[in-house]
A = this chain, B = another copy of it.
């Protein structure tokens, strides 16, 4: 089995920590470098005792992030940094010939203007945008395979795009009037010592936030528009739920054709089922639920799987699609490792089963 050397830049947040976990157990990736300004000099196992039983975690030390050194030590580099910061690191690493998988939002958008609209600062490396591939393997597998710079999708976008893209591509649903109602665990907010995310402030709290213009809308609408072949504007409402992990998204869609009677409804149902089978029937990390069950975050937590189920409602004429994923895995670090596997020619499920 061939192996590749990998590095994680910014390994102290939740998605960085999850990357560490996955890469320590990965059969073909060799974790050579983890960087963190805060923890530089400390042994990985000291900072994250949960990894101490991995021999590698007992010897590997956090280092300061330096492009030259990183490029010497690792063939593939994961960036788990805040937006704005990630792009500044990516530019020199890209020059030095590293392959990069960036978990921030910095390379997800094709337009620097939209980046500035949603992230409130100029893009730090606009020239690289055209080089980046949106790292959603079920949609862009071939591009990821060849990519030098992969922009790993956001957690909410993954939970919305995977259910919606095939339907839009097939013209089965209208591109207008789409609503995405999403529920996320608190790890989605990152490891910030802010009062709003204290245990006591969250434990009995269920609340919407970021309404009505959350940053993730930019990449969601970009990708939905590409799928639909027309400009798509959606309604997106995130909510914070007192669990550590998991995103549950409920999508409200309008079928392209009305289904006035039960015959039309059956036909439409067959088309939707066929569309999903065609898109995901062979995907290792998409579970299409086809019985009476519905997605449940507890089925996907700790895995790289997204669950998808759908219902036609004859009372309202709408199509409901529901998805569940682990926001730190299929919504972040798991998907990034899936991209690594594709880029390196490893089995796509390596380190993810």
Q: Which residues of A contact B (CB under 8 A)?
A: 14, 24-25, 46, 49-50, 52-54, 179, 181, 183, 185-187, 191-195, 197-209, 211-213, 233-235, 237, 239, 241-246, 248, 250, 252, 284-285, 287, 289, 291, 293-305, 307, 311, 313, 315-316, 318, 320, 322, 324, 349, 353
Contacts and interface: CB of A to CB of B under 8 A. Distances in A.
Nearest to A302: B302
A311 B212 contact: yes
8 contacts: A49-B287, A53-B287, A53-B349, A181-B237, A204-B244, A205-B298, A206-B324, A208-B295
Contacts of A315: 212-213, 233
A311 B198 contact: no
Given A187-B200, A197-B198, A204-B301, 12 more contacts: A49-B289, A53-B305, A186-B203, A191-B195, A193-B195, A199-B244, A204-B243, A204-B245, A206-B241, A206-B246, A207-B248, A208-B295
B298 A204 contact: yes
Contacts of A250: 181, 208, 237, 239
Contact of A199 (B242, B302, B316, B349): B242
A269 to B, nearest CB: 13
A325 to B, nearest CB: 11
A70 to B, nearest CB: 26
A353 B25 contact: yes
A241 B208 CA distance: 14
Contacts of A320: 211-212, 235, 237
A353 to B, nearest CB: 6
A297 B206 contact: yes
Contacts of A186: 198-200, 203
Contacts of A297: 204-207
Given A199-B186, A305-B53, A205 B296 contact: yes
Nearest to A212: B313
Contacts of A208: 248, 250, 294-295, 322
Contacts of A200: 14, 186-187, 191, 197, 244
Contacts of A291: 46
A324 B209 CA distance: 13
Contacts of A296: 49, 205-207
A203 B50 contact: no
Contacts of A289: 49
A248 B183 CA distance: 11
B244 A241 contact: no
B235 A183 contact: no
Contacts of A304: 53
